[in-house]
Structure 1
Amino acid sequence: MADISEQLQQQVRSAVDSRRPLSIHARKTKSFYGHPVEGTPLDVSGHNGILHYEPTELVITARAGTPLPVIEQTLAEEGQMLAFEPPHFGEAATLGGTIACNLSGPRRAYAGAARDFVLGCKLINGQGEILQFGGEVMKNVAGYDVSRLMAGALGTLGVLLEVSLKVLPRAESEQTVVLETSDAEAIERMNGWARKPLPITATCYDGASLYVRLAGTQSTIRAARKVIGGEEMPPTRTWWNKLKEQQHAFFSSSKPLWRLSLASNTPPIKLDGKWLYEWGGAQRWLVSEEPAERIRRAVEKVDGHATLYRGAGNIEVFHPLPEAMMKVQRNLKQAFDPERIFNPGRMYKQI
């Protein structure tokens, strides 16, 4: 694979010399996320394979083009998992795309986000140099924050070549319970449970029912059931997987889909549309044709932000940043990619 990384490096150097923008991609399962990029395609899908995995160390290192299902199957054979439960949005999803988007599934609020599990990475910067940051153990903190910067950067700071991740064991048992409730009561209950040592690994409120997933030993789940109540669902791994992959009916609308991030105890927001709550109330999905300005004003009033996850038009996808934070973004872009060749405009049009 050394020759593939060298080929990618040469392609980057050529683009730098000619100041030619590059559109970085693997299998394009997340190409919908962010603004479209105009540039010469740089396909990293051929740079794949697991480099190191020792189950006793709870760490896996793989090339960025490695298919996500290959990684998850390898971990499952050892009773382990990617604790942030990443969505795939297609069978061809890769590790690099997963980290570049920093997308996490239903477990995120209870285990951590994708970036929380990044221990290290290797990348090509905007000068065509191959750099390595972090390591394969938590105590190796050299460059640790730089590795995390790559999570959510959407390929605007560099071309990911390798990623090291912390993994976790799978729980012995799993069970989901359902309660009928209102939106305000669902928020109150989820935040009340968060203050207790309950083995909750996912929550979802769909406008009528509150779904709560528990994981641990059978005895801890039985004890939690006495606190939470509700009716037990049949085995539900498929149900939560469909939620993670946005395959439930809620996500099938052709109307714009918004993702709102805010404090979990924020009361229901008065905006027209269909709502679905996750992450204890901290992530709220809204299907609505309300004007973007009205949605963002309403979210700003509660110190949150709104991302246009899917939708047409020339609307800014990510919530506009205050000038001080935008300056930080520009400085990072200048430091990693001074010629602005990597996915220009993918996050914010001006960078």
Structure 2
Amino acid sequence: METEHNVDDSQALLEQVNRALANATPLLIQGSNSKAFLGRAVAGEVLDTRGHRGIVSYDPTELVITARAGTPLAELSATLAAAGQMLPCEPPSFSPAATVGGMVAAGLSGPRRPWSGSVRDFVLGTRVISGLGKHLRFGGEVMKNVAGYDLSRLLAGSYGCLGLLTEVSLKVLPVPRRCLSISLEMDRARALSNLAQWGQQPLPISAACHDGQRLHLRLEGGEGSVTGAHDRLGGEALDPGFWAELNEQQLAFFDVGQPLWRLSVPNNTGVLDLPGEQLIDWSGAQRWLKSDADAEVIRALARTVGGHATCYSHGLIDSPFQPLPAALLRYHRQLKAQLDPQGIFNPGRMYAEL
């Protein structure tokens, strides 16, 4: 039975896609628009997924939940929390109205990412309307791969450029029995050195951030392991709400000012001399940077350590995502041509060539 919180609107979505194909009309896929600031602007007819919503199935004993793309992420999280479970990748919302489809399309993960995995790692299966006007199912509700590309996981982080996601099945996990956040005073170099060492040891760290003066850690697991780690590391108590504020970019660091960049760098990368104010996340693998420096300067610095940089300030530059090498761009274009031959889905959202 359909209610206002559980509506299968897939037929209407399929009809809109097929009309767009018939008329060669580009489509701007959106849910709540909470992540519209990421990527390039898209000119097209709006395709709103929010009418297609609801939890399709959820079996806490199987650790799998299936939801329609327009389902509010907050609703899915509340359903899991009521059963003592969670999405371990901690996807940020940036809005109370953020949707499950937008979560997968953006593929963004929170502070627990290095220890639990990304959004992509928890996608088991999807239903997708392709650029051939077909409503297809990929994967399933168990952890398995399919021949060729794992299309369900390719959709994570594709920003709607490969097809219209209508439904997703996700692996979930129990909430840790104990969670404790602590803060230790130390400089950036010492923090990165300690994190590199601790990463080789059985410490129950599930988040690590350095704000320039202090290293903030989250310890999660059994009572004994968390208590033991706290006794060993010491530190002052930290408000656990810090991690949600970091994840949702609500810390003072993220206040409007200089352009915001996200640098993804290899684990164990040391101190980087970056032109601006920086915040270290993901135990050093993610560096947030506020800087007026030229985009190529920032990206060149990221490349020197084997990383890349994404601009989070909308409209600042034409290519917010770091341009792809020629060979990789060719693969992206071939995949786009296979799944969206007319190029109607979010054209140019990630790269002008797509």
TM-score band w.r.t. shorter chain: over 0.9
Distance (whole Å) between structure 1 residues aligned to residue 56 and residue 9 of structure 2: 15
Query: Displacement of 1:140 after TM fit?
Result: 6.2
Give 1:146's aligned amino acid.
L
Output aligned runs, 1:88-167, within 5 Å.
Answer: 88-139=93-144, 141=146, 145-167=150-172
Distance (whole Å) between structure 2 residues aligned to residue 258 and residue 324 of structure 1: 25
Q: Give the share of equivalent positions with the same residue, in percent.
A: 50
Q: Secondary structure of 2:32's match?
A: coil
Query: Displacement of 1:309 after TM fit?
Result: 1.4
2:86 corresponds, among 81, 84, 91, to 81
The residue number in structure 2 matching 1:34 is: 39
Q: Is the 8 A contact 2:299 2:308 kept in 1?
A: yes
The residue number in structure 1 matching 2:265 is: 262
Greater mean deviation of Cα atoms: 217-226 or 30-39: 217-226
The residue number in structure 1 matching 2:256 is: 253
Distance (whole Å) between structure 2 residues aligned to residue 153 and residue 186 of structure 1: 34
Give 2:348's aligned amino acid.
G
Greater mean deviation of Cα atoms: 236-245 or 51-60: 236-245
Distance (whole Å) between structure 2 residues aligned to residue 94 and residue 202 of structure 1: 24
Distance (whole Å) between structure 1 residues aligned to residue 228 and residue 313 of structure 2: 40
Output aligned runs, 1:180-199, within 5 Å.
Answer: 180-199=185-204
Greater mean deviation of Cα atoms: 134-143 or 51-60: 134-143
Q: Is the 8 A contact 1:255 1:311 kept in 2?
A: no
Query: Displacement of 1:269 after TM fit?
Result: 1.7
Query: Displacement of 1:19 after TM fit?
Result: 1.0
Against the structure 1 CA distance between its residues 295 and 3, is the aligned structure 2 distance closer, same or farther, given a 3 Å change threshold? closer
Q: Secondary structure of 1:72's match?
A: helix
In structure 1, the gaps of 5 or more residues are none
Q: Secondary structure of 2:279's match?
A: strand
Give 2:67's aligned amino acid.
A
Against the structure 1 CA distance between its residues 17 and 311, is the aligned structure 2 distance closer, same or farther, given a 3 Å change threshold? closer
Q: Is the 8 A contact 1:292 1:315 kept in 2?
A: no
Query: Displacement of 1:282 after TM fit?
Result: 0.2
Give 2:288's aligned amino acid.
W
The residue number in structure 1 matching 2:240 is: 237
2:51 corresponds, among 46, 53, 67, to 46
Query: Displacement of 1:264 after TM fit?
Result: 2.2
Against the structure 1 CA distance between its residues 142 and 134, is the aligned structure 2 distance closer, same or farther, given a 3 Å change threshold? farther
2:297 corresponds, among 291, 294, 297, to 294
Q: Is the 8 A contact 2:124 2:144 kept in 1?
A: no
1:62 corresponds, among 63, 67, 72, to 67
Query: Displacement of 1:210 after TM fit?
Result: 0.3
Q: Is the 8 A contact 1:256 1:311 kept in 2?
A: no
Q: Is the 8 A contact 2:40 2:318 kept in 1?
A: no
Q: Is the 8 A contact 1:121 1:160 kept in 2?
A: yes
Using structure 1 for the length normalisation, give the TM-score. Answer: 0.97
Distance (whole Å) between structure 1 residues aligned to residue 191 and residue 150 of structure 2: 35
Q: Is the 8 A contact 1:259 1:285 kept in 2?
A: yes
Q: Is the 8 A contact 1:176 1:212 kept in 2?
A: yes
Q: Is the 8 A contact 1:257 1:311 kept in 2?
A: no
In structure 2, the gaps of 5 or more residues are none
Q: Is the 8 A contact 1:30 1:97 kept in 2?
A: yes
The residue number in structure 2 matching 1:10 is: 15
Query: Displacement of 1:266 after TM fit?
Result: 1.2
Give 2:323's aligned amino acid.
P
The residue number in structure 2 matching 1:307 is: 310
Query: Displacement of 1:315 after TM fit?
Result: 3.4
Moved segments of 4+, more than 3 Å: 139-144
Q: Is the 8 A contact 2:263 2:289 kept in 1?
A: yes
Distance (whole Å) between structure 2 residues aligned to residue 320 and residue 266 of structure 1: 22
Using structure 2 for the length normalisation, give the TM-score. Answer: 0.96
Distance (whole Å) between structure 2 residues aligned to residue 74 and residue 4 of structure 1: 21
Query: Displacement of 1:139 after TM fit?
Result: 4.0
Distance (whole Å) between structure 2 residues aligned to residue 22 and residue 166 of structure 1: 30
Give 2:47's aligned amino acid.
L
